[in-house]
Amino acid sequence: MTAGTLAKWRVSPGDPVSQGDIIAEVETDKGLIEVEVFETGVVESLLVEEGAKVPVGTPLAEIATVSVPASVSAPESAPESASVSAPASVPGRIISAGSSEVDLDGPMASPAVRRRAHELDVSLQGMHGTGDHGRITLDDVEGPAPPAPSDRVRISPYARRIASERGIDVRRVHGTGAGGAIRASDVLSAKVPAPGKPVSAAERMQRAIAAAMTRANDEIPHYYVEHAIDMGNALAWLREVNASLSVSERLVSGVLVLRAVARALHKHKKLNATWQGAEAVPSEEIHVGLAVSLRGGGLVAPALRNTNEGSLSDLMARMIDLVSRARAGALRSSEMTCATITLTALGERGVDSVTPIIFPPQVAIVGCGATAERPWVVDGQVVPRPVMHVTLGADHRVSNGHQGARFLSALDRLLQDPEKL
């Protein structure tokens, strides 16, 4: 994806938040994604309004994590982002707010505003704020014509938002503001492009998938190794275990494959990594992404975090929950970004095998075909056995065919002893 729409805020300025809290919902081509917070602190400001469509990477909110120097006493209940009037006898008191420092005797401005002023090389001294009690706001700092590095167009934030909503290319708008800056009136008077053929959510998702997979094919030197695995022991063990479980608690063979992939990665860490810049960075944690086809069309591959931990029953419950939420469009942002390897299984479609394409920035992917009765040699005799074809696609910059083959052999051994998974 390249952009998303902020559908709903779940917090307001002044609300305390802790790591893992859901603070917003963002609508994407893949559905509604819940956005988690990874800091503990207080919501200082919301930078994007509900309904606004913004590019990936746009800051959505400021979380204040403030510590006060020991030499300055402050009430524990004081809001961390609050502006405090300092007595004349204590000049230059500083409150640290994240990576910023706020001079309490200087102009009234939040850490976010001060950071933006520093980015634009704008002095706050002597600036008249339009906020409450003279507080300096982002609009005051950015003025009518802030720089826009992405397209080198001088345009006010309000005008840019209107242009985005109306689908207008700001590079084709003549600005009447100071220095040729584009104002809201310039955008409103610009010609709105004729609406094109409506594109469904499924079509948008397919285009996004096509772009990502084209890039993966162009940039990643894939190699493939395939292995046939006798699933007889695994299926026999499943039948025995499921006989004592209720229908809702029963396990499926897919959960065994998920766990086996995760366990095999313990000794084949090169495949459990992400490509960052010019090198592969191994992950200490194992989060297997599960490719899920959506009923309306399209595909997502959210991650089952720490796939190698917990009981098989727990993993089964988590897998059912993940697939259900994926198809309901209720995934979390971390589930869409933290996978360290992906498993795609097309056995239910009856295909013998699948040659998958790696999901960047991962460096490996496992594809499984259907488990079907095939002729198999056991003790010198040809007998029918349930066999599954497994394919590993991996990045040749990180591993090689010999290492990939050893991984599949490890996967085979694990599935022969399912009770140990």
**Amino acid of residue 408:** L
Q: Where are the beta strands (DSSP E) in 18-142?
A: 22-28, 31-36, 41-46, 53-55, 61-64, 66-67, 94-97, 100-103
What are the tokens at 244? Answer: 């004592």
> What mean pLDDT comes out for the span 356-372?
95
pLDDT of residue 1: 66
Alpha carbon separation from 1 to 31, 210, 322 (Å, rounded): 11, 11, 20
Q: What pLDDT does 71 receive?
A: 40
Please name which of 235, 277, 279, 274 lies closest in space to residue 256, comparing C-alpha atoms: 235
pLDDT tens-place string over residues 169-191: 888 888 888 778 888 888 888 87
Which range of 39-43, 54-58, 382-386 scores highest in mean pLDDT? It is 382-386
Calculate helix-pair angle for 232-242, 401-416, nearest 10 degrees.
Answer: 40
- Give mean pLDDT, residues 378-396: 95
| CA 43 – CA 14 distance, rounded (Å) | 5
Q: How far apart are CA 112 and CA 100, in angstroms?
A: 8
- Render pLDDT for 252-278 as a digit per residue (tens, 0 to 9): 999 999 999 999 999 999 999 999 988
DSSP bridge pairs for 329: none
Statement: the pTM of the whole predicted model exceeds 0.85: no
User: How do 341-345 and 364-378 pair as beta strands?
Assistant: parallel
For helices 312-328 and 253-264, give the axis angle rounded to 10 degrees: 110
| DSSP letter string, 270-332 | GGSEEEETTEEEE-SS--EEE-EE-TTS-EE--EETTTTSS-HHHHHHHHHHHHHHHHHTEEE
The pLDDT, as a whole number, for residue 72 is 38
The pLDDT assigned to 31 comes to: 66
pLDDT in tens, 79-108: 443 333 333 332 332 222 233 333 434 566
3-class secondary-structure state, position 358: coil
User: In the prediction, which pLDDT does 178 show?
Assistant: 75
Cβ distance 230 to 384 under 8 Å?
no
pLDDT at position 397: 96
Contact 56, 48 (CB under 8 A): no
For residue 183, what are the contacts with CB-CB under 8 A and spacing of at least 6? 144, 156, 159, 175, 176, 177
Q: Report d(CA 263, CA 272) in Å as an integer.
A: 11
pLDDT > 90? residue 361: yes
pLDDT tens-digit series, residues 244-259: 999 989 999 999 999 9
Share of the chain above pLDDT 70, in %: 79
18: pLDDT strictly greater than 90: no
Chain segment 282-302, per-residue pLDDT in tens:
999 999 999 998 877 788 999
Share of the chain above pLDDT 90, in %: 42
Which of these, 329, 386, 394, lies nearest to 357 by C-alpha position? Answer: 394
Q: How far apart are CA 344 and CA 176, in angstroms?
A: 54
Res 313: pLDDT: 95
Average pLDDT over residues 143-162: 63
Long-range contacts for 358-361 (Cβ within 8 Å, ≥24 apart)? 358/216, 358/220, 358/222, 358/393, 358/394, 358/395, 359/212, 359/216, 359/289, 359/301, 360/212, 360/215, 360/216, 360/219, 360/220, 360/275, 361/274, 361/275, 361/276
Average pLDDT over residues 146-164: 66
pLDDT for residue 406: 97
Contact 156, 145 (CB under 8 A): yes
> CA-CA distances (angstroms) from residue 166 to 6, 27, 201, 317?
17, 18, 19, 44
Give DSSP secondary structure letters for 227-244. EEEE-HHHHHHHHHHHTT
Q: What are phi and psi of 94, to 5 degrees?
A: -120, 135
State the pLDDT at residue 143.
66
Confidence (pLDDT) at 385 = 96
**CB-count exposure of residue 65 (10 Å: 0-12, 13-18, 19+):** middle
Contact 264, 229 (CB under 8 A): no
Among 94, 90, 113, 112, which residue's Cα sits nearest to residue 103? 94
Q: Which residue has the higher pLDDT, 413 or 165?
A: 413
CATH of domain 210-420: 3.30.559.10
For 105, list phi and psi in degrees, rounded to 5: -95, -5
Closest CA to 272 of 361, 402, 346: 361
pLDDT reported for residue 134: 66
Q: Mean pLDDT lowest for which of 38-52, 133-147, 357-371? A: 133-147
Where is pLDDT greater, at 16 or 70? 16
